Structure 1
Amino acid sequence: MSSLPPPLALTMGEPAGIGAEIAAGAWRALRAEGPAFFLIGDAERVPGVPARRIAAPEEAAAAFAEALPVLHRPLPRPSVPGRPDPANAPAVIAAIEEAVALARAGRAAGVVTNPIQKGALYAAGFAHPGHTEFLADLAGTGVPPVMLLACPGLRTVPVTVHEPLARAIARLTPGMIVQAARTTHAALIRDFGIAAPRLAVAGLNPHAGEEGALGTEERDIVAPAVAALRAEGIAARGPLPPDTMFTALARPGYDAAICLYHDQALIPVKTLDMAGGVNVTLGLSIVRTSPDHGTALDIAGTGRADPSSLVAALRLAAEIARNRARCP
């Protein structure tokens, strides 16, 4: 029996986007040292690199140095770069389902998802807001999934995600912050190998409210959440002024920043490393990462797609899988 860890499963993503291009680029970057992965998708669409059809994930490691291993799943219709076709949506969904099933069975070390075009999926009857909610249905653990964005030197977690800012602020509660922070704390221990995680919790208003002069959410919502976390033994501090907590001097003081809305978490990560940021879903029974960008329909098929974020996502997924193996 091989002592090699299982390979990672990479989903096809939106066929009209850059998924196949960056999969090929990631294979070029990782073929010598790994981690090994296989693509679930149409082998005929892999551009510019040798693709080898495999019958099972267990064949991927042996093939990886010479060719990109592919579990061949042909598309119902030929894809046209930049033009999503809802007829291919079932194949996109099936690739995600298959990857999750393989990870749950231990035949894949984790799932790395190429970007999807949600509009095309919705047109085909997809009932979930996005990847994260779908994955929670497939591999949830009973707690709401949490999005973590990572780049070298910074990890951020948005408590509220894809919703209008006014609605996100209106529904924010101490309990939501506590729940996201708990999940993050547990993941930092299990997935990132940090024995005693430190959390920084952002304020909402300028200067974290200036003691109520610029807003009371810090006093009424954030401070009670931080107190509750500290009472549970979690090293949390805040509310911190959002305009200073992401500076080079501040970042070494914590292991993850708990942010209150989408852009508060994503702007600093994308500013520091737009090409190499990674999206990690916490709270699942499997490892899942993805590039921190979309389908890039405007450059699909042009050869201009940068695989850096996918390479980072594959490397981080392998690292998390190794940490979970050491701390089951």
Structure 2
Amino acid sequence: MGQLQNTNTIVGYLKYEGEAVQEGIMGAQEIISSLSGFHNAIRFYLKKEDPRYENLNFDIPVKVQQGCLEFIVPLLKWGSAIYAAGAITQIAQNDFKNITSKDIFLYSLKCIKNVIKIAKHLGSFGNTTFKTKITFGDPFITIYNDSGKGLVVPKDMIDMYLQTPPGLLEKMVSTVASERELEIGYIDENQELQKETISISEKYIFASTEEEEDILPELVHGASVELVGEITRGNSSTNKLGIKYKEKILTCIPEQGDIKQYKNCIFRKCKIYGVVSREDEFGNITEKKPKIIFYKLTPIDTVSPNSNLFDIQ
């Protein structure tokens, strides 16, 4: 296996390692795709970190060795940051003097590593996965997966996870194979190596399976609506209902009161009156699937023979 170069000279890296990387060789298209994916991920989080970095141009050196292909983010002072074919172009130098490439790129690498760690913990990649499975302990949040296991992560990393497009890391992960593992790492403020890996068994987590466009785009955030559909479920612990509308199950949350008052609506065709919300856990308007914050729910058919199966106690 390839060995990481001197950690005193780098901010971080992405590498592919294993028997499928014989003599450091990968297919040209695979290298281009994975390098492009790494570049795009860094740039996405750079913009989130500081708007001044939006027009920052940079190249990522590639190191090839036996059994390992490595993309490197080197540690350089801003004044000497012009390397290779112009890896970092000087922008607003008066605003960026006395900083290093670590100051610029470390946060992006932290985001990539932690987003991967969170997605692996949950077994899926999407911003609706853990909304009812978190506990707060500022500045950290504990996320619980389906097995009840908790993962403690900084709140700002959760924020970045929620803002990360589902397909952002797909190119990076697309070259993972049965004998080729991905590893992302960075050197933290204590000069310790922090890393995360993705194996073939975890590759599916990062595939872009979510719909690219908003679900039911005609349901615009903030719009008042009157929808007709079948109430398919209710959960008193979360105080939410589900309505089947145009073959999609939408979450419905009462504007006030307890959903137990709608017990007679389960498995029935109803008309729901409310407001569309695409707001996520942290107040950002990012949800692809809308929710309905409703103030009125009225059955419009006969009583369902299964209404007593409603799971509200």
Q: Normalising by structure 1, what TM-score?
A: 0.24
Q: Normalising by structure 2, what TM-score?
A: 0.25
Structure 1 or 2: more helix by fraction? 1
